[in-house]
Structure 1
Amino acid sequence: MSSKRLPGQPHIAYRGDELFLEEASLNALAQQFGTPLFVYSKAAMMAALAAYQRGFAGRKVQICYAMKANSTLGVIQLFAQEGCGFDVVSLGELTRVLAAGGQASRIIFSGVGKTRAEMRAALQAGIGCFNVESEAELEVLNEVALSLGRQAPVSIRVNPNVDPQTHPYISTGLKGNKFGIAHERVVQTYQRADALPGLRIEGIDCHIGSQIIQEAPYLDAMDRMLDLVQAIEAAGVPIHHIDLGGGLGIDYNGETPPEADQLWAKLLAKLDARGFGQRALMIEPGRSLVGNAGVCLTEVLYLKPGEQKNFCIVDAAMNDLPRPAMYQAYQQIVPVKPRSAPEETWEVVGPICESGDWLGHDRNLAVQQGDLLAVLSAGAYCMSMASNYNTRNRAAEVLVEGGHAHLIRERESYADQMRLERLPLAATIAR
């Protein structure tokens, strides 16, 4: 059977007249599990992780999967089994890591709004480090740790004022962003943290954004971080690890981000040149590990030609795939079984009652009612951001391993959605 791989998608290919993920027919999976349906390739995730592992061979590095990209237990388990740590931003994410078999000692807790309850639970679990994002948070974390008779391991997140040259909503390292301590206040903040008895300083952290497709922002951030480490240590506060965050982009529509191993070869060379080659490192990749491992399958419900635009209405929507509506993001949309017919230009839209419910503008497709489409690069920031808007059930998820398919999330039911809701007493309504 002839095979035709899709550009930028090494684990997705047409075989004969239908689309496969690894050795699994996407048409067959849609028939078995229904649509909308998320399908993930284990091989794609492991290949992405292997690129980082090659880049760090022989180095003291902890790779911490940033699970906000995709927090499904079946995905987390894969990375836990490979020895990864995890970057979490809520108690819910921490709970998921532990439920999937991750080690608490390899968890980094980030986020600008940690509550006292979250801090307490994380300390009791024995996490590896808190990435502290404000001076006020330092004081609260110190109080919580002392109340438990413990010391909290901390790293302070620095805002290096580096432009990651990405969408403004996912830029996190500029002065106008809410994240981290201002570059100019870092040394005195470390001195304050060092004086607090409930804290134990472990490292320094930065994260400049997401979907970064150029090397320059990383190299710039590395230089600024190393300048700060030198200044902090000159002030008498030792730094044991350097955390460079994540944010490496993927190929959605012909982007050419650097390969993880090639990028880190340059960053490590900079570390070596400045005398930090033996310093322990942490990184927090998310999208680059899972983004191109996933597809979302959706059925064409109706075709609606119009005077100005032609609408291809599908059963997936902005509650399943929020990135286009939120970020004006582009994801490729391809037929699961191509037709030998002339293509037309379509607006691919969902059934939600919002004009912002679109999956793709001006897509050239040969399509008919009842066809299946695959929305590519759907492994990151899709299911983890999915909602029940319009009381829509969240999709099922399947993990593909070769030709085997594992259901890792059942499709939600309306009973699932309403399980925690209560009707008030009839007498109360009458009054």
Structure 2
Amino acid sequence: MSQVLTHQQLLKIAGEFGTPLYVYHAERITEQYRRLQQAFTETNTAFFYACKALTNISVLKHIKSIGCNADCSSVNEVQLALMAGFSPQQVLYTSNNIAFSEIEKAVSLGVHVNIDSLSNLRKFGDKYGHSYPVGIRLRPNIMAGGNLKISTGHNKSKFGIPIEDTGKVIQLMKEKNLHIRTLHIHTGSEIKDVEVFARGIEVLFELIPHFPELEVIDLGGGFKVPYAPGEEGTDITLLGKKVKAEFEAIEKRYNRKLQIWFEPGKFLVSEAGYFIVQVNVLKQSGDTTFAGVNSGLNHLIRPMFYGSYHHIENISNATAALHRYNIVGNICETDNFAEDRMVAEIREDDYLVFYNAGAYGFEMASNYNSRFKPAEVLVKDNKSSLIRRRDTLEDILATQVVPAD
């Protein structure tokens, strides 16, 4: 049975720490990681948590404690991972249209590095030659993911070196004596079809002989998690079997054993997260009832950014009859969290919970309208601990510089 927090637990936490509030359940994160391990027991697979989903250092420390590695999208994330206790060899940094100086910083920290442009690969070769192993992020020209905004592998994507430029990568490898250890692809987020990962392996299959020092095939992440009731996520067990068969074929054809890397982010933390808000006002407009809450797109931008669905429940009146609501925020923009959503009767001051709030919730939060970012709480061993306090006005002013008159 999946690890979940009950309405009563969430109400107690909201009463103790106030709202809006992000709550994360450590045991659910562990459960998701163990699912991955079990699905890939028959393959040489390593997992790197895509910490862009949620970088709170207490969460990173927990993920480190259960044996997972860390995948980073910026050198700042790299430094947070190291501060959380990951060793450099447990940290992967995948660059994306960044200044070469950031790659130099990552190298100085001793972490694994993936490069996503011919320009930076050339600079890397000029400076490091064969002295530092490197990975290449390729764009496989595969359309996948929940929608275009979270699809990263198609032929119009900014990510990676186009697969048709592989010949230029090989040429640079020879010219600069590069030690290319990893071939990396990432096709998108919310990928349910395991065949997408198989197609990615097939794209790389023919390239393997051209990279004599290749040790790792990195298939990125993007596993789908269920958001709406009745929705299904990626069949991880089936994916494990598919990857096993594909890599056995590679070993048989080339007589080479390669390690497989995955970068799950949302899969590990999404279902472990809860976002609790309180209802400020009810407003009737014709047939529409607006439930206005004490939050907005400044705290949870996903529904407005790419139309994502979050299941919402009224945890303080859960057994009441269902009514139809538009659940909206308090920001000076149209920030609809849900439209025409059936929810147990909502009263002013009721507490609502948004499920699947662990990934890209707080991480994308802002101080828009000069409102405070919410607090974060980690529940572990049935103990609730504050892991980030709520903003104050002093926090908003802290980095501002007022010139002298």
TM-score range, shorter chain: over 0.9
- Find the aligned partners of 2:174 and 2:359 in 1 and give their Cα distance: 37
Identity rate, percent: 29
**The 10-residue stretch of structure 1 (32-41 or 99-108) with the greater mean CA deviation from structure 2:** 99-108
- Counterpart of 1:220 (choices 183, 199, 203) is 199
Does residue 68 of the first structure (1) align with residue 46 of the second (2)? no
The AA in structure 2 aligned to 1:73 is: I
In the TM superposition, what is the alpha-carbon distance from 1:195 to its structure 2 partner? 2.6
- Counterpart of 1:294 (choices 260, 263, 273) is 273
- Counterpart of 2:31 (choices 42, 47, 59) is 47
Does residue 370 of the first structure (1) align with residue 370 of the second (2)? no
Q: Which runs of 5 or more structure 2 residues have no equivalent in the other structure? A: none
Query: Is the contact between residue 145 and residue 222 of structure 2 (CA under 8 Å) also seen in structure 1?
Result: no
Query: Is the contact between residue 302 and residue 314 of structure 1 (CA under 8 Å) also seen in structure 2?
Result: yes
Query: Is the contact between residue 194 and residue 238 of structure 2 (CA under 8 Å) also seen in structure 1?
Result: no
Q: What secondary structure sits across from 1:310 in the alignment?
A: strand
Q: Which residue of 2 aligns with 1:419?
A: 398
Deviation string, structure 1 residues 202-232 (Cα, Å, up to 9, x no partner):
11010000011121211111211212224x2
Query: Is the contact between residue 242 and residue 282 of structure 1 (CA under 8 Å) also seen in structure 2?
Result: yes
The AA in structure 2 aligned to 1:243 is: D
- Find the aligned partners of 1:32 and 1:58 in 2 and give their Cα distance: 45
Q: Which residue of 1 aligns with 2:167?
A: 187
Q: 1:382 to 1:186 in 2, by over 3 A?
A: same
Q: Which residue of 2 aligns with 1:131?
A: 114
Q: Which residue of 2 aligns with 1:404?
A: 383
- Counterpart of 2:239 (choices 242, 257, 263) is 263
In the TM superposition, what is the alpha-carbon distance from 1:165 to its structure 2 partner? 4.5
Q: Which residue of 1 aligns with 2:362?
A: 383
**The 10-residue stretch of structure 1 (202-211 or 164-173) with the greater mean CA deviation from structure 2:** 164-173
In the TM superposition, what is the alpha-carbon distance from 1:339 to its structure 2 partner? 4.6
Q: Which residue of 1 aligns with 2:135?
A: 155
- Find the aligned partners of 1:418 and 1:200 in 2 and give their Cα distance: 47
Q: 1:136 to 1:334 in 2, by over 3 A?
A: same
In the TM superposition, what is the alpha-carbon distance from 1:315 to its structure 2 partner? 0.8
The AA in structure 1 aligned to 2:295 is: A
**The 10-residue stretch of structure 1 (177-186 or 107-116) with the greater mean CA deviation from structure 2:** 107-116
- Find the aligned partners of 1:196 and 1:31 in 2 and give their Cα distance: 60
Does residue 310 of the first structure (1) align with residue 289 of the second (2)? yes
- Find the aligned partners of 1:242 and 1:383 in 2 and give their Cα distance: 31
Q: Which residue of 1 aligns with 2:336?
A: 358
Does residue 275 of the first structure (1) align with residue 259 of the second (2)? no
Query: Is the contact between residue 53 and residue 363 of structure 2 (CA under 8 Å) also seen in structure 1?
Result: yes
Query: Is the contact between residue 226 and residue 232 of structure 2 (CA under 8 Å) also seen in structure 1?
Result: yes
Query: Is the contact between residue 107 and residue 113 of structure 2 (CA under 8 Å) also seen in structure 1?
Result: no
Q: Which residue of 2 aligns with 1:429?
A: none
Q: What secondary structure sits across from 2:331 in the alignment?
A: coil
Q: What secondary structure sits across from 1:172 in the alignment?
A: coil
The AA in structure 2 aligned to 1:132 is: I
- Find the aligned partners of 1:59 and 1:339 in 2 and give their Cα distance: 44
Query: Is the contact between residue 35 and residue 298 of structure 1 (CA under 8 Å) also seen in structure 2?
Result: yes
Q: 1:395 to 1:118 in 2, by over 3 A?
A: same
- Taking the TM superposition and a 5 Å limit, the aligned residue runs for 1:105-116 are 105-116=89-100
- Find the aligned partners of 2:238 and 2:204 in 1 and give their Cα distance: 20
- Counterpart of 1:240 (choices 207, 212, 215) is 215
Q: 1:165 to 1:405 in 2, by over 3 A?
A: closer
- Taking the TM superposition and a 5 Å limit, the aligned residue runs for 1:316-327 are 316-327=295-306
Q: What secondary structure sits across from 2:299 in the alignment?
A: coil
- Counterpart of 1:252 (choices 211, 224, 227) is 227
Q: How many residues align?
A: 400
In the TM superposition, what is the alpha-carbon distance from 1:340 to its structure 2 partner? 4.4
- Find the aligned partners of 2:128 and 2:250 in 1 and give their Cα distance: 35
Q: What secondary structure sits across from 1:179 in the alignment?
A: coil
In the TM superposition, what is the alpha-carbon distance from 1:144 to its structure 2 partner? 4.6
In the TM superposition, what is the alpha-carbon distance from 1:294 to its structure 2 partner? 0.3
Q: Which residue of 2 aligns with 1:81?
A: 65
**The 10-residue stretch of structure 1 (30-39 or 99-108) with the greater mean CA deviation from structure 2:** 99-108
In the TM superposition, what is the alpha-carbon distance from 1:308 to its structure 2 partner? 4.5
Does residue 172 of the first structure (1) align with residue 155 of the second (2)? no
Structure 2 length normalisation: TM-score? 0.94
Q: 1:194 to 1:130 in 2, by over 3 A?
A: farther
- Counterpart of 1:36 (choices 20, 38, 56) is 20
The AA in structure 2 aligned to 1:120 is: E
Deviation string, structure 1 residues 232-280 (Cα, Å, up to 9, x no partner):
24xxx43111111110010001321233233122111121133268311
Query: Is the contact between residue 194 and residue 239 of structure 2 (CA under 8 Å) also seen in structure 1?
Result: yes
The AA in structure 2 aligned to 1:364 is: M
Q: Which residue of 2 aligns with 1:12?
A: 4
Q: Which residue of 1 aligns with 2:314?
A: 335
Deviation string, structure 1 residues 70-89 (Cα, Å, up to 9, x no partner):
11111111111223221111
Q: Which runs of 5 or more structure 1 residues have no equivalent in the other structure? A: 427-431
